[in-house]
């Protein structure tokens, strides 16, 4: 990590700490500590267990996509690689957008594949993960609406999900239909970036247009191979949906741990909505995701879900979802980096 990247990461973590501090101030540290002190430890352990299950499921989705691209690897390896991917996402701003390039390098180093193949694989998995998240969110919102009357905040949030789903679907269709034009634009863009780096960054040489074109062509060819394999897509989507359900089970169990049962339908809606906050400049969405989750859970008319109870459950849930992959992925990244230096 160079100096500029380190500064950006530190600024991002500073922002995350500021947002979390404000959230704690608004809710009250004393009330939060009281809620957490009553948490059942065995149930908290189950939250960690389903978090590992989530990483395993999405690791299987990555393994499926790599298999479609002709790269066979073990289940354990893709579990570890995906943990490394989440580590990258959790320490870089803008979530997947910031972590994917590093993750692609990790995939290429651990599976001996082209960098473009690794980038196409992780980009495909991230794209596929969007489909079940929005679907489950709309199902949860629809079912929850049959049980209670939505507040204005929840109606606005539901409307935002519908608009987001439509926008992404239309954008994906347009990009796919014009993929040749997009590919040419990407070649020109990366060529200009390479020239700029070659002129101004010591020790970096500008790649030739042929080299840039080969890498971009390889990336788009890999994307097309994934899109043209219905069985692989269906299997990867299934693993993705399983991962989302395990994440939702984690938040539901977090509420069980503090003795405040909640309806699974609102959890199905809240978890994907919180994940959208992961695209903020905050590393791994830290601070933003917690704030969105607490806001949605308090806005829903749920008995016993006070601000302190919602934050306590979110702290347990996010403590597992954020820190388990950071620890595991950090070990993976450290091991791969040591191997590369050796």
pTM higher than 0.85 for the full model?
Answer: no
Task: Sort 74 into a burial class: Cβ within 10 Å, 0-12 / 13-18 / 19+.
Answer: exposed
What lies within 8 Å, CB to CB, of 288 at 6+ separation is 16, 19, 277, 278, 280, 282
Minimum mean pLDDT range among 55-59, 122-126, 176-180, 310-314: 176-180
Give the mean pLDDT of 43-59. Answer: 95
Minimum mean pLDDT range among 7-16, 152-161, 259-268, 323-332: 7-16
Please report the pLDDT score of residue 58 as a whole number: 94
Who has greater pLDDT, 251 or 96? 251
Please report the pLDDT score of residue 42 as a whole number: 95
Are the CB atoms for 94 and 72 separated by under 8 Å?
no
What integer best gives the mean pLDDT of the chain? 78
Please report the pLDDT score of residue 219 as a whole number: 67
Model confidence at 5: pLDDT above 60: no
For residue range 163-212, what is the model confidence (pLDDT) as tens digits? 766 776 677 677 767 767 766 776 666 556 555 545 554 444 555 566 55
Give the mean pLDDT of 308-328. Answer: 90
* % pLDDT > 70, the chain: 68
How many whole angstroms separate alpha carbon 61 and alpha carbon 132?
A: 13
Please report the pLDDT score of residue 114 as a whole number: 79
Model confidence at 57: pLDDT above 90: yes
Give the mean pLDDT of 57-72. Answer: 90
Closest CA to 170 of 162, 181, 182: 162
How many whole angstroms separate alpha carbon 88 and alpha carbon 328?
A: 11
Please report the pLDDT score of residue 194 as a whole number: 55
Are the CB atoms for 322 and 268 separated by under 8 Å?
no
Look at the block and give the residue holding tokens 């490394």: 84
Model confidence at 96: pLDDT above 60: no
Please report the pLDDT score of residue 201 as a whole number: 47
């Amino acid at each position: 990590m160079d100096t500029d990247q380190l500064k950006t990461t530190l600024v991002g973590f500073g922002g995350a700490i500021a947002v979390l501090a404000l959230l704690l101030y608004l809710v009250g540290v004393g009330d939060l500590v009281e809620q957490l002190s009553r948490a059942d430890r065995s149930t908290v352990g189950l939250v960690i267990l389903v978090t590992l299950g989530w990483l395993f499921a999405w690791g299987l989705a990555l393994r499926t996509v790599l298999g479609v691209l002709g790269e066979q690897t073990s289940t354990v390896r893709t579990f570890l690689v995906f943990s490394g991917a989440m580590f990258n996402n959790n320490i870089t701003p803008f979530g997947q957008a910031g972590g994917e390039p590093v993750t692609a390098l990790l995939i290429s180093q651990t599976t001996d594949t082209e960098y473009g193949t690794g980038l196409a694989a992780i980009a495909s998995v991230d794209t596929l993960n969007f489909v079940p998240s929005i679907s489950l969110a709309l199902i949860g919102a629809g079912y929850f609406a049959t049980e209670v009357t939505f507040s204005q905040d929840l109606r606005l949030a539901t409307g935002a999900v519908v608009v987001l789903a439509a926008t992404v679907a239309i954008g994906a269709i347009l990009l796919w239909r014009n993929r040749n034009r997009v590919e040419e634009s990407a070649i020109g863009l990366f060529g200009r970036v390479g020239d700029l780096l070659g002129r101004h960054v010591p020790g970096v040489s500008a790649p030739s247009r042929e080299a840039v074109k080969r890498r971009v062509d390889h990336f788009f060819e890999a994307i097309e191979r994934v899109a043209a394999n219905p069985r692989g897509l269906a299997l990867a989507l299934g693993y993705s949906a399983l991962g989302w359900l395990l994440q939702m089970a984690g938040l539901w169990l977090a509420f069980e741990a503090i003795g405040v049962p909640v309806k699974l339908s609102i959890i199905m809606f809240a978890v994907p909505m919180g994940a959208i906050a992961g695209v903020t400049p905050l590393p791994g969405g830290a601070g933003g995701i917690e704030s969105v989750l607490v806001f949605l859970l308090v806005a829903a008319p749920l008995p016993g879900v006070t601000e302190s109870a919602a934050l306590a459950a979110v702290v347990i849930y996010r403590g597992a979802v954020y820190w388990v992959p950071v620890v595991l992925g950090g070990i993976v990244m450290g091991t791969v980096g040591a191997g590369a230096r050796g």
